[in-house]
Amino acid sequence: MMSPKEKNDDFREPVVQGHPPSASRLLLNILGCLLSLPIYYFSTVHSRYPVTLDIVITIALTELNRYIVEGRRQHFARSLHTPSFDQHLDEKKEWSGLHLEAQPCIPNADCMAAVVGWREDPSLYARALQSYKSAKTCTFFLAGIDGDEAEDQDMVNVFCQVFPENSTVIQIPEPLGEVAERIRAKTMALQRQNGIPVNEDEANAISMQACLDLARSILRQHDLTIGGPKGIKHLCLKQRHMHKKGIMFTAYVFALVISDILGIEYLWSSDSDTIVFPDSLEKTINTIASDLKAGGASSGLVVHNNRETAVTNLASAVYWGELYLTRSTPACTGTSDCQSGPSTAFRLSALPAILVPWYTQIAFGKRMIVNEDRHLTTNLLLRGWNVIFASDVLAATDTPTTMSRWLRQQVRWARATHIESLLRPKVYLVSHPLLFYGMVKREFGPAIGALAVMWFFFTGHQLIEISVMDFVFRILISTMYNFVRNTHRLRLGDVRWIVPGVFFYYIPLPAVQIYSMLTMAADGWGTSMRASGDMERAKREGMRKAWFDLGFFVVWMGIVAGVVAKVLAIHWGLVWYEKMVCIMMSMGVAMWGGWRVTIGASG
């Protein structure tokens, strides 16, 4: 196996731009998007059982996705026995710049894994790394640690303990994301200085090429032999603490260089708290291996810490009963709109053209650093790549253990979803209309629900007809379907969390949706307040932040309780002052409970 210094240094700038649709396809997509609006309107407003109808449609699309995904695997299995002389090789040459002679190319699902994290719990990190030892088709492991201080050494030690042989640790002198930003800005400044129209694509390509060259140079400086019986098979990169996007960018650049050396076509990307199963990588990558238009895929998820608290048990029920279905809506058309960070696979040739635009994303005049999963997916879709959701494959991830952390996570995810769904309308022109339909249902369904609840709260009149039996049918149908078809088989003790999990997820959902829309540009996503020497001031600031992050939930629980009390008061025929007392008492108790499990618990 060649070392970096023995490889060809002529590493050209990446040119694989994707697969843009034809003009006729664009027209059909536009017409499909326009038709999606009345279809969604009539299926919700003019249906006696809109929620039940929605779950039936979702199940049908989920089954169609399962059928198509299995067909992809069968097609790949057949291709293993049919050597190809053209496409796989040509695609590799386009982005790597290798001078290869035409020869039979046997498709395979060999991949390398990149796992990133920051100050992870050492025992959980060790379990995550250990799981890759039995992962099929994983030929190289790359760990990225976002921090190089004394507190970050625990993760390095865990890496060295889990992979004592054929491994090494490299300190990155400067995060490659900062290198890319600097070169990109300099290139565009030179274009303006020379009176040339600013070409962002060219600036992105130049900065990407510089990062690839720098990564190759770092490997050469350490005199590493990549691959082979005695070569490096496990590499740990650590750099100054930035954010998840920063360490992901560095890891992906090194993955491109290492994959070029090893002749690998696919990358599995995950987090430091995620445990993979032996077939997680293989079965996910098999769904894109035979389709050269497929740029990425992701698997389903289960919760591995579900028995820690009541919140984790409820979250596990949500993953089992809701996320499995909702993520499948557009997936059957190859337009899954979010590759989950813990379980994502990429065709490496799709990455060079999107990494710099992804890293330098700006929304509302601010750098975005926490919507890394969705924006990567958006960039793939914008360039015409298919994105697959392998719902029958699982990986195990960690979930927040408290209500306050769970809500903060949901709000962060919702903000990222709004940014990608509402601020990137071009993606719907180049993608199947089902992606647009899924966006309309996801973005406006909970918002309409919030409006209906508040309308009844303030006026006492129903904005839309609500049937209790509609919700009962929906829960029964989705539960029965998941029992029969969900790859994640529940234990007997977990069954009791299914119905509470539905309320746990759907009661806060309208409030999460509205609040995240109103605060899309909020600062400090996922970051904690820095400690101050004035402890009293730090405590006050922490309480203000807690109210900003979670106060909406306290208010919403009061509104929901007020609505329930008003419905019961009308049903019991209470007079107006009895009704008011009932409503006020219910609101007070609910708001106190909401405060107690969120703001009170975090203080």
Q: Does position 92 have pLDDT exceeding 50, yes or no?
A: no
The token pair at 5 is 């210094």
CA–CA distance, 68 with 334 (Å, rounded to integer): 9
Which pLDDT score is estimated for 1?
45
- Which of 16-20, 48-52, 550-554 has maximum average pLDDT? 550-554
Which pLDDT score is estimated for 588?
93
Which pLDDT score is estimated for 526?
39
Under DSSP, the state recorded for 321 is I
Dihedral angle sign, alpha carbons of residues 193, 195, 200, 202: negative
Which pLDDT score is estimated for 461?
84
Angle, CA 10 vertex, CA 6 and CA 11 arms, to 5°: 100
Instruction: Tell me the pLDDT band of 367, cut-offs 50, 70 and 90.
Output: confident
Lowest-confidence region among 83-92, 323-332, 420-429: 83-92
The answer to whether 236 and 168 are in contact (CB under 8 A) is yes
For 422-447, what is each residue's pLDDT tens digit?
888 888 988 889 999 989 888 888 98
The mean pLDDT of the chain is 85
Residues ≥6 apart with Cβ < 8 Å to 431:
29, 333, 335, 381
Higher pLDDT, 466 or 138: 138
Which pLDDT score is estimated for 234?
93
555-571 average pLDDT score: 91
Residues ≥6 apart with Cβ < 8 Å to 365:
none
260-283 average pLDDT score: 93
The answer to whether 33 and 436 are in contact (CB under 8 A) is yes
CA–CA distance, 390 with 571 (Å, rounded to integer): 47
Instruction: Tell me the pLDDT band of 41, cut-offs 50, 70 and 90.
Output: confident
Residues ≥6 apart with Cβ < 8 Å to 458:
none
pTM: 0.87
Which pLDDT score is estimated for 276?
94
103-108 average pLDDT score: 51
Pairing of the two strands 111-117 and 266-271: parallel
Which pLDDT score is estimated for 497?
93
Pairing of the two strands 362-363 and 275-276: unpaired
CA–CA distance, 145 with 151 (Å, rounded to integer): 11
Which pLDDT score is estimated for 49?
87
Which pLDDT score is estimated for 546?
85
The torsion angles phi and psi of 225, rounded to 5 degrees, stand at: -105, 115
485-506 average pLDDT score: 90
For 53-65, what is each residue's pLDDT tens digit?
999 999 999 999 9
Which pLDDT score is estimated for 16?
54
End-to-end Cα separation, the chain, in angstroms: 56
CA–CA distance, 482 with 58 (Å, rounded to integer): 12
Q: Does position 4 have pLDDT exceeding 70, yes or no?
A: no
35-51 average pLDDT score: 85
CA–CA distance, 351 with 194 (Å, rounded to integer): 30
The answer to whether 470 and 52 are in contact (CB under 8 A) is yes
Which pLDDT score is estimated for 146?
92
Which pLDDT score is estimated for 540?
54
The answer to whether 90 and 266 are in contact (CB under 8 A) is no
Q: Does position 274 have pLDDT exceeding 90, yes or no?
A: yes
Which pLDDT score is estimated for 97?
44
Distances in Å between the Cα of 60 and the Cα atoms of 35, 56, 262 are 19, 6, 41
484-505 average pLDDT score: 90
Nearest partner of 395 among 490, 301, 271, judged by Cα? 301
Which pLDDT score is estimated for 599?
87
What residue type is assigned to position 249 of the chain?
Answer: F
Instruction: Tell me the pLDDT band of 406, cut-offs 50, 70 and 90.
Output: very high
Angle, CA 520 vertex, CA 517 and CA 521 arms, to 5°: 150
Instruction: Considering only the C-alpha atoms of the chain, give the largest distance between any 2 of them, rounded to a whole number of Å.
Output: 88
Distances in Å between the Cα of 173 and the Cα atoms of 148, 157, 230, 245 are 10, 20, 27, 17
Which pLDDT score is estimated for 585?
93
The answer to whether 233 and 141 are in contact (CB under 8 A) is yes
CA–CA distance, 530 with 479 (Å, rounded to integer): 44
Dihedral angle sign, alpha carbons of residues 135, 140, 146, 151: positive
Which pLDDT score is estimated for 93?
47
Residue with tokens 């101050």: 532
The answer to whether 325 and 62 are in contact (CB under 8 A) is yes
Lowest-confidence region among 148-162, 289-303, 454-468, 538-552: 538-552
State the CB neighbour count (10 A cutoff) for residue 248. 24
Q: Does position 579 have pLDDT exceeding 90, yes or no?
A: no
568-579 average pLDDT score: 85
What residue type is assigned to position 103 of the chain?
Answer: Q
Helix axes 535-572, 576-597, angle to 10 degrees: 150
Instruction: Tell me the pLDDT band of 341, cut-offs 50, 70 and 90.
Output: confident
294-318 average pLDDT score: 92
Element (H, E) at 40: helix 23-45
Helix axes 433-459, 509-518, angle to 10 degrees: 100
State the CB neighbour count (10 A cutoff) for residue 104. 9
CA–CA distance, 400 with 350 (Å, rounded to integer): 32
CA–CA distance, 374 with 98 (Å, rounded to integer): 31
CA–CA distance, 289 with 279 (Å, rounded to integer): 15
Which pLDDT score is estimated for 123?
93
Q: Does position 494 have pLDDT exceeding 90, yes or no?
A: no
3-class SS at 490?
coil
What residue type is assigned to position 58 of the chain?
Answer: T
- Quote the percentage of the chain above a pLDDT of 70: 89
81-96 average pLDDT score: 49
- Would you say how long the chain is, in residues? 603
3-class SS at 553?
helix
The answer to whether 207 and 180 are in contact (CB under 8 A) is yes
Which pLDDT score is estimated for 587?
92
460-465 average pLDDT score: 81
569-584 average pLDDT score: 86
Secondary-structure percent of the chain, ordered helix, strand, coil, rounded to 5: 60, 10, 30
The torsion angles phi and psi of 367, rounded to 5 degrees, stand at: -70, 135
119-135 average pLDDT score: 93
Which pLDDT score is estimated for 176?
93
The torsion angles phi and psi of 112, rounded to 5 degrees, stand at: -115, 155
What residue type is assigned to position 256 of the chain?
Answer: L
Q: Does position 225 have pLDDT exceeding 90, yes or no?
A: no
